[in-house]
């Protein structure tokens, strides 16, 4: 039961997302709920409640907040990550996504494929950074990290 069963993004103070960003968000949440691996490592000083978990993601005071509760509402963990390590990769990801969305409308498939490969590479880099930042706090597999990185980008869009 080491998984996320519900995700809530706290985007109250963010501008409304573009249709493309909203679509990315919906797909990431759907895919994440369908299949993910999310484990809280045990601590010497206290036991941790078992999942599945409800995950709240927010940006507060220029920090990424993971608020993790059990399905019954019991607090499982909360941790805050600096956004600094994500800034450049999020910026690069948005730039390549803009190129991709433009390319889909005007370019031939071969050029779209090239841009999409670059987009996936940057996305992989973002998920790697996330896994490094989560070390010791939560363990996630690569696919879970990729989808969480997408949600971080959605939050960072206005953060």
pLDDT digits (tens, 9 = 90+) for 98-135: 898 889 899 999 999 999 999 999 999 999 999 999 99
H helix runs in 16-60, sequence order: 19-34
Q: Helices (H) and strands (E) in the chain — how many of each?
A: 4, 6
pLDDT at 97: 86
Which DSSP category does 122 fall into?
A: H
Tell me the C-alpha distance between 13 and 5, whole Å. Answer: 25
Between 62 and 38, the more confident residue is 38
Mean pLDDT, to the nearest integer, of 143-158? 87
pLDDT at 159: 44
Tell me the C-alpha distance between 157 and 88, whole Å. Answer: 13
Between 31 and 11, the more confident residue is 31
State the pLDDT confidence band at 157, using cuts at 50, 70 and 90: low
> Whole-prediction pTM value?
0.89
pLDDT at 98: 87
pLDDT at 133: 96
Tell me the C-alpha distance between 96 and 116, whole Å. Answer: 8
């Amino acid at each position: 039961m080491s998984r996320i069963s519900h995700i809530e993004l706290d985007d109250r103070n963010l501008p409304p997302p573009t249709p493309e960003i909203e679509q990315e968000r919906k797909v990431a949440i759907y895919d994440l709920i369908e299949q993910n691996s999310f484990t809280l490592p045990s601590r010497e000083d206290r036991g941790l409640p078992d999942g599945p978990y409800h995950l709240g993601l927010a940006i507060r005071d220029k920090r990424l907040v993971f608020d993790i509760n059990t399905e019954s509402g019991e607090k499982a963990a909360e941790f805050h990550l600096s956004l600094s390590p994500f800034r450049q990769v999020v910026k690069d990801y948005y730039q390549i996504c803009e190129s991709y969305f433009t390319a889909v409308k005007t370019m031939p498939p071969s050029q779209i494929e090239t841009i999409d490969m670059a987009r996936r590479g940057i996305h992989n880099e973002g998920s790697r950074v996330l896994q490094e930042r989560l070390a010791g706090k939560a363990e996630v597999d690569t696919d879970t990290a990729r989808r969480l990185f997408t949600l971080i980008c959605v939050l960072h869009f206005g953060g």
